[in-house]
Amino acid sequence: MAAESHASAKILQTGARVALLGLVINIAFATIKIVAGVIGHAYVLIADGIESALDVGGSIVIWGGLTVAARPPDQTHPYGHGKAEPIAAIVVALGVLAAAIGLAVESVREIFTPHHGPAPFTLGLLVVVIVVKEILFRYVNRIGPNLESTAVQTDAWHHRSDALTSAAAFIGISVALIGGERWWSADDWAALFACAVIGANGVRLLLPAFHEIMDTAPRARIVRAICGVASSVPGVIEVEKCRARKMGLDFYVDLHARVDGNISVHEGHEIAHRVKAAIQQSNPRVADVLVHIEPAGNM
Calculate the alpha carbon distances from 232 to 218, 228, 254 in Å.
Answer: 21, 6, 17
CATH of the domain at 235: 3.30.70.1350
31-80: per-residue pLDDT in tens?
Answer: 888 888 888 777 667 777 777 777 777 777 777 777 787 777 788 887 77
- Give the chain's length: 299
273 and 208 in a single domain? The answer is no
62 and 106 in a single domain? The answer is yes
164 and 137 in a single domain? The answer is yes
**For the whole model, what pTM was predicted?**
0.61
Domain ranges, residue 234: 220-295
225 and 205 in a single domain? The answer is no
Q: Which of 144, 134, 139 is nearest to 164 (CA)?
A: 134
23 and 130 in a single domain? The answer is yes
Can you say whether the dihedral through the CA atoms of 211, 216, 220, 224 is positive or negative? positive
CA dist., res. 83 & res. 146, Å (int): 18
Among candidate residues 191, 213, 235, the one where a domain is terminated? 213
167-190: per-residue pLDDT in tens?
Answer: 877 887 788 778 766 776 776 777
78 and 17 in a single domain? The answer is yes
Among candidate residues 184, 213, 242, the one where a domain is terminated? 213
170 and 286 in a single domain? The answer is no
Indicate the burial class of 125 (C-beta count within 10 angstroms; 0-12, 13-18, 19 or more).
buried
Among candidate residues 190, 213, 236, the one where a domain is terminated? 213
CATH of the domain at 34: 1.20.1510.10
